[in-house]
Amino acid sequence: MLTLNLSNIFLNQSAENKLEVIELVGQKMVEAGYTTEAYTVGLKMREAISSTFLGNGIAVPHGTPNTRDAVIKTGVVILQFPRGVDWGDGEKVFMAVGIAACSNEH
């Protein structure tokens, strides 16, 4: 079962652009022991394929199936950006929910 720990919620973050957000999400996942650094490449690859912006100021960065081997254990990190970050196409992200999943556990 997936459990969200308070230690994986990061308030009052700042970033200049979505690439910085994605790199920060990747860093937090590594620090939490969910992924290796290689997973950040997957986060960037996924974003290049299609935007992870969901709407209502929320993005859900996640990897691609071919970077699943960089996942150590399933986990979620949440980063809040009070000033918002331009996500392109006129969209602004205030919350990024990073997901790393070993399978369909998420």
List the chain domain ranges: 6-100
- pLDDT attached to residue 50: 94
Report the side by side order of strands in the sheet with 75-88: 9-10, 75-88, 91-100, 58-59, 53-55
For 14-32, what is each residue's pLDDT tens digit? 999 999 999 999 999 999 9
The secondary structure element, H or E, covering residue 95 is strand 91-100
Tokens 């970050």 sit on residue: 85
CATH number for the segment(s) 6-100? 3.40.930.10
In this structure, which amino acid lies at residue 102? C
- pLDDT attached to residue 102: 85
- Give the predicted TM-score (pTM) of the model: 0.93
Please give the chain's pLDDT, 106 residues, in tens: 677 889 999 999 999 999 999 999 999 999 999 999 999 999 999 999 999 999 999 999 999 988 989 999 999 999 999 999 999 999 999 999 999 998 765 4
Catalytic (active-site) positions: 62
- pLDDT attached to residue 106: 47
Helices (H) and strands (E) in the chain, counts: 2, 5
